[in-house]
């Protein structure tokens, strides 16, 4: 089981930090750039072969990752704000783009992710949005949490008048 202890200390990326990784079709890390290794605090050996969820912060709604998987498995790019957990329990917010990698025949062979420093106003708003969604998820039995979180995201998008998560997220970029 992955340690989910948190310190409450936030690592703020610099504008020059670009975190890059690749995974197989199951989300297992196959490549991590030096910036990912440095910021996450995990060694290259600890990252390669581990599920990308090794970085999942417990304050991130499960429904967000469900939405991401629906988008990327459908062959589209996902854009979002993610609060990651470093090995020591610190957290770091990123603006992320996850895209499918395809072979010559168009079949998805894995995923690439590029993450960078988000605007602070986005972190402020999405921290609150995610806290609300996590509360919705935690009010449900575990087997209903993902669906409840996904439904909460859809309601939030409708409230904001956004057609999709990408449309809303891109307003902050």
Confirm if 111 and 101 have CB atoms less than 8 A apart.
yes
Query: Within a domain: residue 56?
Result: yes
pLDDT at site 166? 86
pTM over 0.95: no
Say which residue the tokens 């770091």 belong to: 92
Q: Starting from the edge strand earliest in sequence, which strands make up the sheet with 18-23, in order?
A: 29-32, 18-23, 108-116, 91-102, 78-85
- Residue 92's domain comprises 18-118
Would the pLDDT of 120 be above 70? Answer: yes
pLDDT at site 173? 79
Residue 126, judged by CB atoms within 10 A of its CB (0-12, 13-18, 19+), counts as buried
Total number of domains constituting the chain: 1
Query: Within a domain: residue 145?
Result: no
pLDDT at site 2? 60
Query: Within a domain: residue 151?
Result: no
Q: What is the CATH number of the domain that holds 97?
A: 3.30.450.20
pLDDT at site 139? 97
pLDDT tens digits for 19-71?
Answer: 999 999 999 999 999 999 999 999 999 999 999 999 999 999 999 999 999 99
Query: Within a domain: residue 43?
Result: yes
Say which residue the tokens 């891109």 belong to: 170
pLDDT tens digits for 126-172?
Answer: 999 999 999 999 999 999 999 999 999 999 999 999 988 888 999 88
pLDDT at site 1? 53
């Amino acid at each position: 089981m992955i340690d989910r202890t948190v310190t409450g200390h936030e690592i703020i990326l610099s504008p020059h930090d670009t975190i890059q990784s690749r995974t197989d079709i199951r989300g297992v890390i196959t490549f991590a750039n030096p910036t990912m290794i440095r910021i996450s605090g995990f060694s290259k050996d600890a990252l390669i072969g581990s599920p990308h969820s090794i970085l999942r912060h417990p304050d991130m709604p499960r429904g967000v990752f469900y939405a991401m998987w629906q988008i990327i498995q459908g062959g589209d790019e996902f854009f979002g704000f993610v609060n990651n957990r470093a090995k020591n329990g610190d957290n770091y917010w990123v603006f992320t783009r996850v895209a499918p990698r395809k072979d010559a025949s168009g079949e998805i062979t894995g995923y690439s992710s590029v993450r960078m420093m988000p605007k602070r106003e986005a972190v402020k708003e999405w921290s609150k949005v995610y806290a609300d969604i996590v509360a919705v998820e935690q009010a449900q039995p575990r087997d209903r949490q993902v669906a409840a979180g996904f439904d909460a995201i859809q309601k939030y998008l409708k409230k904001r008048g956004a057609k999709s998560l990408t449309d809303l997220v891109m307003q902050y970029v």
